[in-house]
Amino acid sequence: MTDKLIEPRTLKGFRDYPPELMIPREWMLEQARRVYRSYGFAPIDTPALEYAEILLGKGGEESDKQLYRFMHDRHDVALRFDLTVPFARFAAQYIAQLGTPFKRYHMGPVWRGENTQKGRYREFWQCDFDTIGTTSNAADIEVALVIHDLMHAVIPPAPSGDRGEGRFVIHVNNRLVLNGLLEELGLAGHTASLLRALDKLPKVGRDGVLAEMAERTGISSTQGDRLLTLAQTTGTNVEILAKLKSDFGTNPKAADGIQRLEELLSATHKAGVPDNLIVLDLSIARGLDYYTGMVYETFLTDLPKIGSVCSGGRYDNLAGLYTKQSLPGVGASLGLDRLLAAVEELKLLKGTATPAPVFIVQFTPNRIGEYQAMARCLRAAGIGAEVFTDAKKIGQQFQYAEKRGHKLALIAGPDDFAKGTWNVKDLAKREEKKGVPDAEVIGVVRSMLDVCV
Q: Is residue 158 part of a domain?
A: yes
Please state whether the peptide bond connecting residue 202 to the residue before it is cis, i.e. omega within 30 degrees of 0: no
| CA separation for the pair 178, 180 (Å, rounded) | 5
Q: Is residue 319 part of a domain?
A: yes
The pLDDT, as a whole number, for residue 114 is: 86
Listed ranges 63-72, 261-270, 288-297; the one with the highest mean pLDDT: 261-270
The pLDDT, as a whole number, for residue 431 is: 94
CA 282 to chain centre: 23
Q: Give the domain range for residue 32.
A: 19-177+249-345
Domain limit, last residue, from 318, 345, 372: 345
Residues forming a β-bridge with 108? 126
The pLDDT, as a whole number, for residue 318 is: 86
The pLDDT, as a whole number, for residue 166 is: 75
Rg over alpha carbons for the chain, rounded to the nearest Å, is 27
Domain limit, last residue, from 345, 371, 396: 345
Q: Please give the model's pTM, rounded to 2 decimal places.
A: 0.89
Q: H or E element: which one contains 212?
A: helix 201-217
Q: Are 372 and 319 in the same domain? A: no
Q: What is the pLDDT of residues 151-209, one digit of tens each?
A: 999 998 766 555 556 799 999 999 999 888 888 878 877 777 887 888 888 778 888 88
Q: Is residue 7 part of a domain?
A: no
Average pLDDT over residues 304-322: 91
Strands (E), 80-220: 102-111, 123-132, 168-174
Q: Are 278 and 402 in the same domain? A: no
Q: Are 169 and 316 in the same domain? A: yes
Q: Are 304 and 431 in the same domain? A: no
What is the amino acid identity at position 247? D
| CA separation for the pair 259, 249 (Å, rounded) | 10
Q: Are 289 and 331 in the same domain? A: yes
Q: Are 340 and 363 in the same domain? A: no
Domain count, the chain: 2
**Average pLDDT, whole number, for the chain?**
91
| Angle, vertex CA 276, rays to CA 273 and CA 279, nearest 5 | 100
Q: Are 340 and 432 in the same domain? A: no
166: three-class secondary structure by DSSP: coil
Q: Are 74 and 165 in the same domain? A: yes
Q: What is the pLDDT of residues 429-447, one digit of tens each?
A: 999 999 999 999 999 999 9
Q: What is the pLDDT of residues 370-393, one digit of tens each?
A: 999 999 999 999 999 999 999 999
| pLDDT surpasses 80 at 11 | yes
Give 392 or 58, the one with higher predicted confidence.
392
Average pLDDT over residues 15-26: 94
The pLDDT, as a whole number, for residue 1 is: 52
Q: Is residue 184 part of a domain?
A: no
Domain of 422, CATH number, reads 3.40.50.800
Domain limit, last residue, from 345, 375, 403: 345
Q: Are 32 and 60 in the same domain? A: yes
Listed ranges 39-43, 163-167, 213-217, 363-367; the one with the highest mean pLDDT: 39-43
Average pLDDT over residues 63-74: 93
Q: Are 102 and 133 in contact (CB under 8 A)?
A: yes
Residues forming a β-bridge with 78? 50, 69
Least confident of 187-191, 203-207, 296-300, 311-315: 187-191
Domain of 287, CATH number, reads 3.30.930.10
Q: Are 338 and 385 in the same domain? A: no
pLDDT-derived band at 18 (thresholds 50, 70, 90) equals very high
% of the chain with per-residue pLDDT over 70: 97
Q: Are 69 and 107 in the same domain? A: yes
Q: Is residue 221 part of a domain?
A: no
What is the bridge-based pairing of β-strands 408-411 and 358-360? parallel
Average pLDDT over residues 257-282: 96
pLDDT-derived band at 320 (thresholds 50, 70, 90) equals confident
Q: Are 299 and 427 in the same domain? A: no
The pLDDT, as a whole number, for residue 155 is: 92
